[in-house]
Structure 1
Amino acid sequence: MHGLLGHSDQFLFNNHENGSLALYLANEGFDVWLGNTRGSISGERHVQLDRSSHSFWNFSNHEMGVYDLPALVDYILEKTGNKNLQYVGYSQGVRIFLIMASMRPEYQQKISLASVIGPSGFLENLDSWWLKPLGLWTQPILRFCTYINIHVLPPELLNMGHTTVFFCQNILTSELCFKIYKSMVGDSGEITSDSLSLLAKYTYHVPTKQLSHYGQTIVSGHFRPWDYGPSGNVEAYGQETPPDYDIENVTVPLAVYYSLGDAFANYKVEIYWIWHRKNKFIQKIQILPKYTGKLWGYFYK
């Protein structure tokens, strides 16, 4: 599963000699299924709700982990006739996997191995000068966008793909594009101008409430469901603060890939809970120094 602002086609990038992750796994004999989260460019249809309604966009990572990912797992197992599958999640894809494993523990037996790339659950001690302050503003931004009936950021009027490609390929702004990219995701030592332009082309919008859920995590330092405020939380959870996801009881075997240069997956925090789990569940932990472009080869060598 892809990350924030992402889409499954990012697993098909093929601008390195080893090919894309999805094609590499297919060539190795795996039956590869690519999923998309709700609100992504391929997840904007509903059997009852209209895309322009507020109800359509009233979701966060919680709903993806509790409802969407389990449904995807069941669909694949039904179609293939298998009893379990191997899961690969990148950034947000790790986040919703942990939510599913916590809130729907019966699905842990359906995952034989989870390869988690750039885990971003807690978002504490972010290695980025702007992400922490941005977290403080996501709630006001959500309220304002809801008031003016904007449900995704950047607004679709800007045509995210075309705008970013032009910005990153233009000789006058390409260097600034590199600096913005590094400030957002970290210091990536192997991203070239071509691969950054390709990444920009396939970067999409993000639903405002989904982004705001990230902001709540950044501010609180807790990996937990949506915070409705004290009274709303009492109604939803029976207590004034949302309960933390119980990831201590995740027993799915893990292969963990993270980078010292990843601004979102701070290894001192995100990996902490892994080291304090029973060793028998850890199949592999691989550090990728100063490299955050994990979808474009190398990490699966």
Structure 2
Amino acid sequence: MANISSTTVFIVILLLCVSAAVAATAKLRSPAANICKSLVETQGYICQEHKVTTKDGYVLGVQRIPMGRSANKTANNKPPVLLQHGLLLDAATWLLGSPDEALGFILADHGFDVWLSNTRGTASSRGHAWLNPQDPVDFLANFLLKLHSGVLDNFNKSIGACDVAATAKLRSPAANICKSLVETQGYICQEHKVTTKDGYVLGVQRIPMGRSANKTANNKPPVLLQHGLLLSNYQDAATWLLGSPDEALGFILADHGFDVWLSNTRGTASSRGHAWLNPQDPEYWEWSWDELAEYELPALFEYVYHQTGQKLYYVGHSLGTLNAFVALSKGKLVNMLRSAAMLTPVAYLGQMTSPAFRSIAELFLSEKLYSLGVREFILKGQDVAKLLQFVCLKAEINCSDTFTVITGPNCCIKKSTVDSFLGNEPQSTATKNVIHLSQMIRRGTLTKYDYGNVYENVKSYGQITPPAYNVKSIPKDVPLLLSYGGKDSLTVVNDVKILLEDLRDHKADKLVLQYRDDYAHFDFIVGYNANKLVYDPLIAFFMLH
């Protein structure tokens, strides 16, 4: 206790001494006073005022003393020196006292070109490109709040956002998938409801047979298709239904004799029900992919298994593969699974090269949203383009091609499909889910959600850090097909290599790899040639396993 008191007394005395030194100055300076006029020119030195604008918009005042009092009246070839003050001070720090005592003057008299900086918020540096010091939150938080409330209608849209009007038919998120996308193609479609152990009511669509099949689904092998995480209005089962029946995997599997089940993650248009919550409750959105692997995917498997009486085939894309890897590593699903095809397999994201998603992670955008009370993560209409523009400006990224910035250069997607993906009214996920993915990107690890403080981690996990998932625990005889691409900037090759290292002891005849050098993230689900290059081998894999 005595040591703390001594330290406190020392700090107080130090602050008093600094105050006394300032008070002893011949002329006390008002915070708003011009440093050049009040402190430099009064001592007989030349002084210039400069302005510097930072990438995040702050306009800083900088003073320059280009030469000493007796120097030749040119600053040519004098070595520049930048002086940066500490906390609660400004450039005047270096000018207190006589020219023989203050470092700013001494350096000038010794032949240096002296530059004096002033930290943002100090009297000389209170400017900003679009804010003022009365604004209660920083630009990023301000921007994101406006983004979610949809008031940035006049934001610059010149980064090449898709021409939505050119899309033949845009689907409303609330549209019934069976009626709008399946029955219109001549297929029978059924709507099912699945309730998870944590209360979420999921919409599931079933295509029990192909167009030319006998009108019974008896003994047709069931296959469950799980979509990924997309900033679009097709972030649900519609992922598998884009394109003609000869192009979309949902239809292709039905026509090949499979009983097709299409899942929709909680929070999407078909899966916004809950046993005791509603989407307006903040608690409704308190989940990440931990809960998808723990509760959601097992509930879907159990439902389809009991409805059909058969083990399932599984196809996951992106986040849909992460959920499956984690569930399998914990011993879930195994007794109900025949084999699994993982398109753009995700277990690690630490080497992700997507400029958009890496910037979102490294700028802690989702964490800022969560701290502001935003629990439902949804980017409406052209807000995707607006958010990307901010990210692009912040990270100095060329964003002329929005889709490429997000996913990598997809080789084989029609423009109409791109327009559909980036059209109006995308669907929701939990902000907490995006935070969890951002943690994976920043850390390169595969762990449970990190609450960011010891108390919450200990409360949830019994330890100060979130426990890691162990992909090596996946049973070695589970048949797996991993399909990935060389141009994918979300599921990059180097991260897939880490996953493959974890699976190095998997039975050789149970692990099949498919690599497409020209494919990026979405080519695997909506590429116009994926039916031949990806789906034909996938179906052949299922037939063998």
Q: Decide which of 524, 539, 543 is 1:294's aligned counterpart.
A: 524
Number of residue pairs aligned between Structure 1 and Structure 2: 282
Q: 1:180 aligns with which of 382, 396, 402?
A: 402
Q: Which residue of 2 aligns with 1:67?
A: 295
Corresponding residue number in structure 1 for 2:321: 94
| Matching residue within 369, 374, 399 for 1:144 | 369
Instruction: Give secondary structure in 2 for the equivalent of 1:4.
Output: coil
For structure 2, list consecutive stretches of 5 or more residues without a partner in the other structure. 1-225, 386-397, 537-545
| TM-score for the superposition, normalised by structure 2 | 0.49
Residue 272 (structure 1) aligned with residue 498 (structure 2): yes
Partner of 2:419: 197
Q: Displacement of 1:49 after TM fit? A: 0.6
CA RMSD of aligned residues (A): 2.3
C-alpha deviation, 1:107, in angstroms = 2.1
Q: Which residue of 1 aligns with 2:63?
A: none
- Please name the residue that 1:228 is paired with: 451
With structure 1 as the length reference, what TM-score do the two structures score? 0.86
Pairing 1:153–2:398 present: no
1:1-301 alignment to 2 at 5 Å?
1-5=226-230, 6-15=235-244, 18-82=246-310, 84-103=311-330, 105-138=331-364, 141-145=366-370, 147-149=372-374, 151-154=376-379, 158-159=380-381, 179-201=401-423, 203-229=426-452, 230-251=454-475, 252-275=478-501, 276-280=504-508, 282-292=510-520, 293-296=523-526, 297-298=530-531, 299-301=534-536
Shift of 1:31: 0.6
Alpha-carbon shift at residue 47 of structure 1 (Å):
1.4
Structure of larger gyration radius: 2
Cα separation, partners in 2 of 1:201 and 1:130, compared to 1, 3 Å: closer
Aligned equivalent of 2:176: none
CA distance in 1, matches of 2:509, 2:444: 25
SS at match of 1:39: coil
Deviation at 1:178, TM superposition (A): 6.7
Find the aligned partners of 2:355 and 2:374 in 1 and give their Cα distance. Answer: 30
* Partners of 1:63 and 1:88 in 2: CA distance: 19
Deviation sequence 1:240-270 (CA, Å, 0-9, x none): 2111111101122101110111111112222
- Bigger Cα displacement from structure 2, 120-129 vs 145-154: 145-154
Deviation per CA, 1:10-46: give whole Å up to 9, x if none: 101125x832001101110011100011122222111
CA distance in 2, matches of 1:254, 1:264: 21
Whole-angstrom distance in 1 between the partners of 2:485 and 2:279: 37
Q: Is the 8 A contact 1:119 1:265 kept in 2?
A: yes
Change in Cα spacing, 1:21 to 1:177, as seen in structure 2 (3 Å) is farther
Q: How many angstroms apart in 2 are the aligned matches of 1:107 and 1:239?
A: 27
Alpha-carbon deviation of 1:109? 2.4
1:225 & 1:24 partners in 2: Cα distance? 36
Partner amino acid, structure 2, of 1:89: G
> Which shifted more, 279-288 or 214-223?
279-288
In 2, Cα distance between equivalents of 1:19 and 1:27: 12
> 1:199 offset after TM fit, Å?
2.4
- Report Cα offsets for 1:166-193 as digits up to 9, x if no partner: xxxxxxxxxx987111011111111221
* Aligned counterparts of 1:288 and 1:273: Cα–Cα separation in 2: 17
Residue 168 of structure 1: aligned partner? none
Q: Structure 1 residues 69, 288: closer, same or farther in 2, change over 3 A?
A: same
Which 5+ residue runs of structure 1 have no aligned equivalent? 165-175
Pair 1:146–1:55, CA change in 2 (3 A): farther
- Distance in 2, matches of 1:146 and 1:250, equals 36
Contact 1:41 1:204 (C-alpha < 8 Å) held by counterparts: yes
- Residue 173 of structure 1 corresponds to none
> Which contiguous aligned blocks of 4+ residues in structure 1 show a shift greater than 4 angstroms?
none
Matched-pair contact (CA < 8 Å) for 2:362–2:442: yes
- 1:4 is aligned with what amino acid? L
With 113-122 and 197-206 compared, the bigger mean Cα shift is at 197-206
SS at match of 1:286: strand
Q: Once structures 1 and 2 are overlaid, which stretch shifts more, 93-102 or 280-289? A: 280-289
* 1:81-105 deviation digits (Å, cap 9, x = unpaired): 11x21110000000111121123x0
Structure scoring higher RCO (CA < 8 A, sep ≥ 6) equals 1
Q: Measure, in 2, the Cα distance between the counterparts of 1:24 and 1:178.
A: 34
**Contact 1:115/1:256, CA 8 A, preserved across alignment:** yes
Between the aligned partners of 2:447 and 2:260, the Cα distance in structure 1 is 30
